[in-house]
Amino acid sequence: MSRGLAAAGAWRFLTMAGQCIAEARPSVLGVHLIRFAAGAGAGARIAGRLHLGAAVAGAVTWEMAIFAIYLLNGVMDVHEDRVNGSRRPIASGALPRRVAAWWAAGAAAVSVACALAEGTPRSAAVIVVLALGWQYSASPGALKRRVAGVAVVGAALGFSAYFVGFTSQAGSDWSHPASGPIAFAITMSAWMAFIGAPAKDLSDVPGDAAAGRRTLPVLWGEAATRRGIAVAAVVIAVAFCAAATYDPRLLRWPAATVAAGASSIALLSLTRTAAGSRLPYKCFMLTQYAANICMLLATAALLGHRHAAIDRFEGRSA
């Protein structure tokens, strides 16, 4: 009897956990983990090696914070999600809002506790990010209702992921990163703020308008917003390609990836067939996944070359 109750309780717990993860969007959790890893790789270059334990601890801390933020967003956006026909667990009724809110609060508490144990730079970043997440979704003057608020929060979440990853490895050198990783972090943060946010909002106009949110598509209309996305994508790509010339070994392939993604987004945004579709947003997501993976591979290659050079030097000295 007790075993049956325990099994039922465990199954219920796992079901709720799965629904909460689905509500927090696995694709978003995944890209934030990759951003963290890219920052950790840049920090490992400063430190000279990868501190795996610190990387794992930092990743858990960051992912719990992002999980809490996006789960809270689902709790607070249920009305507009239902108007937009969302099939996520809260909007569909499969996950009660109260249960999701408790999970979000628990994840935030775990994230803060872990961050406090990891030192001042990371704990401060995590607390600020959680506060921004609250201000974005749940505060009386929710930042999600304004174009500037969406852009600021998007950029802050993006840059903080790289910062927290970097500080998990760089130790006391956290304030002195190379120019290449900084250029990459700024570019991908701008990519989130000026491409991802308006591209996502293109398909959410009915619900956003019903909830009183003043997003770019609501204010400008779909056609003007798509033109703005196209221009912003090209500007960001050109600026990043220019910055990549100062650190070509690290940034060559990430810059090429962003340039290809920006070209695709511009073409998709300016064609009539993209009207009312999520194609620009899907291309945005694919581009940021690819660019961050390229950054990880480039960092790993440079770190490997450094170790090989040290080994050769020590061999000659011996």
pLDDT at 172 exceeding the cut of 60: no
pLDDT mean across residues, the chain: 86
Q: Is the pLDDT of residue 78 over 80?
A: yes
Label residue 64 by pLDDT band (50, 70, 90): very high
Check residue 310 and give its pLDDT.
44
The span from the CA of 213 to the CA of 80, in Å, is: 10
Average pLDDT of span 100-119: 93
Length of the chain: 318
pTM over 0.85: yes
Give the integer Cα–Cα distance in Å for 299 and 42.
7
Q: Which residues contact 190 (CB under 8 A, 6 or more apart)?
A: 155, 236
CA–CA dist 172, 179 (Å, integer): 17
Beta bridge partners of residue 214, listed in sequence order: 146
Extents of the domains making up the chain: 25-306
Specify whether the backbone of 57 is left (phi greater than 0), alpha (psi in -120 to 50) or beta: alpha
Beta-ladder partners of 146:
214
Choose the weakest-confidence range: 45-49, 69-73, 206-210, 287-291: 206-210
Q: What does residue 96 show for φ and ψ, rounded to 5 degrees? A: -60, 140
